Amino acid sequence: MKFLPVSFLILALATAAAFAYDPSPLQDICVATNDLNSGVFVNGKFCKDPKQATADDFLFTGFRNPGNTSNPLGSKVTPAFIDQFPGLNTLGISMARIDFAPGGLNPPHTHPRGTEVLVVVEGTLLVGFVTSNQLNNTLFTKVLYKGDVFVFPIGLIHFQLNIGNTYALAFAGLSSQNPGVITIANAVFGAKPPISADVLTKAFQVDKKVVDYLQAQFWYDNN
């Protein structure tokens, strides 16, 4: 498999940094640690003593291999957020690798704390985002090809679908070390405990049998 120059990935990260949402750091490094006795609590995580940091703290190897797309969605998101990559702590940025089988979908979702910029490395993706009620829920959508870059504004519902007949790969840069993910179908129909059927039948203007059916489904999480 041929990959695009690293410059495209650097562009994605640089763009995400320009939209940084997290507070700016007041120190050079603040590697996250789970050892509550060894550091200071900063921005949701404890930091290890900077003098104890090593180069390995700033290395993430989780993108080396393709994600397993053998699931109902046909896609796999491999995040490099703060929980997977401690060196990101206080830096206001993160990444994700997204693998797609033919026809694979990264379903409608939002990142409540981060803008996303997507770089297509292989394949053809149909992508889009929907604006808020204030802008009449307008859909912005494009077909992306290898080398194309698309941005999804913070908090807005968006998706990516592989419309090609071959494997597709994309990398995303996000403007938060912990952008969060809310997959719409999972949140609405897979909430635990379930949202009242009275709420959902009125909200979606459907019969209760439809709501019962949807709530009974297994809502797969590809993250």
User: Which residue positions form the known binding site for oxalate?
Assistant: 106, 111, 116
Which segments are annotated as binding site? 106, 109, 111, 116, 158
Maximum C-alpha span of the chain:
61
**Half-sphere exposure for 6 (CA within 13 Å, toward CB):** 0
CA–CA dist 130, 132 (Å, integer): 7
CA–CA dist 135, 133 (Å, integer): 5
Which segments are annotated as binding site for Mn(2+)? 109, 111, 116, 158
